[in-house]
Amino acid sequence: MNEQALDGYIICRECDLLSSVAELPEGHKAICPRCSGVLTRSHKNSLNRILVFGITAVICLLFSNLFDYVNMSVQGQEREVSLLETVQILFELKERALAVFMSVIIIALPTFFVGVISWLAISIKLRRVSPRSIMLLRIIAHLRFWNMAEIFFLGILISMVKVSSMVDVQVGVSFWAYALFNVFLIAALTNIDKFQLTRAIKQIVRENQESLDGH
Amino acid sequence: MAIDASAFEAQNLASCHLCDTVQDAGRQRCSFCQHPLHARMRYSLQRAWSYLATAIILYVPANLLPIMTTSELGHETFNTIAGGVVTLWQHGDYLISLIILLASLMIPLAKFAAMLTLCSSEQFKIYNKPHSKTTIYRITEFVGRWSMVDVFVVAFLASLIQLGSLMSIYPGPAALAFAGMVIFSMLAADSLDPKVFWDDYERSE
């Protein structure tokens, strides 16, 4: 079999079975006949959705750094904390390892994600891609499970219940902006299918190559 | 083409980890993107074992040492994870108490059991049931990260509740051990290649 003939094939990520996948109609998914894992999913209008969700997420992220994140009061004393301060205070407490971990998980990684997603969607739309663009898709696919923003939210809710008998904790505008940021980030991520986007990138790279060769 | 045949063993084909291009498994580099080509993750089992062992070792200090210290009017209280579960239960916060019991104590143990089963079945060539093993693998990959919730609770409370001698909360040494435990158990699941479950399946056919 030559290289082009294998173009319509996919090897299952989980059980290594070779399957042929034709062009999937929008909204359909291909299931591995052996392990029943999802091979690939063709989302409706995926590129535009990724772009819109990604850019909305970037805007929400900006807002979540502009206002109060949470404030608390106990016996007349009040305190306001912003999103970046939650990490900064850990540094001041000399809990450096924990502080670095928190900055990566709740700030750096989500920010990196929305940046890369928006950039990738724009570059596919403008057809300015190279085989290196696929590297970004791979990074997204790999780091997906390390984005723990929704778990951080559960953590905040538990924290509020834990201290509710002693202090009065209230969330601010930035907290809701950060919540929306995570909703849009997850919405953008669910519209990303590595196989479909890789296929689109490959096709553009080949076409660009051919038009170069033609001149 | 037989339906029960791995691409690598039956057709000597591999797909690029980076760009998914299906090609001859004998190639050193991908024909499309030049990324090094491997049909299976390298040193998958060794890496899974070492990460798993690290995670299990860290589980001990994570549960024995205090995860946070509450200082109230000069009076310091040390809380462990199990202690927190009991306190919440006594206060009547049954739901939160159960979530923490599940996320911090049960899920890590279940995950260790699952990873031990998967790793040793590959190591000693026993329990040749690729369908069940793939299901176990998927669940393990999905739930593992939720254990992190307790670390977030501590980190968040420590940064919020800093009122000097009136009331302050500090993270304890167990917080870091616990974060490490979750990270290493996630790395263990990440490094185990589920494709190897199916290799023995064909040999037994």
Chain A residues inside the 8 Å CB shell of B33: 131-132, 134
* Interface test mutation site (partner A, options B23, B35, B160, max chain A beta carbons within 10 A): B160
Same domain membership, residue A163 and residue A73: yes
Q: Count up the domains in chain A and report the number.
A: 2
Same domain membership, residue A31 and residue A17: yes
Report pLDDT digits (tens) over B60-70.
Answer: 999 999 999 88
Same domain membership, residue A26 and residue A71: no
Asked if residue B157 lies in contact with residue B126, where contact means CB atoms within 8 angstroms, the answer is no
Same domain membership, residue A166 and residue A97: yes
Compute the count of residue pairs across chains A and B with CB atoms less than 8 Å apart.
Answer: 183
Measure the CA–CA gap between B72 and A207, rounded to whole angstroms.
68
Asked if A131 lies within 8 A of B34 by C-beta distance, the reply is yes
Same domain membership, residue A196 and residue A100: yes
Q: What is the pTM of this model?
A: 0.88
Chain B residues inside the 8 Å CB shell of A135: 18
Chain A residues inside the 8 Å CB shell of B159: 81, 85-90
**Domain around A99:** 45-214
Give A149 to chain B, closest Cα distance, Å. Answer: 10
Which residue is closest to A69 within chain B, CA to CA? B160
Which residue is closest to B23 within chain A, CA to CA? A3
- CATH of residue A58: 1.20.140
Same domain membership, residue A202 and residue A98: yes
Look up the ipTM and state it.
0.85
Q: Which of A15, A95, A163 sits opposite B161 (nearest CB)?
A: A163
Report pLDDT digits (tens) over A107-138.
Answer: 899 999 999 999 999 999 998 888 888 888 88
Same domain membership, residue A67 and residue A14: no
Report pLDDT digits (tens) over A76-90.
Answer: 888 888 888 888 999
Max CA separation in chain B (angstroms): 75
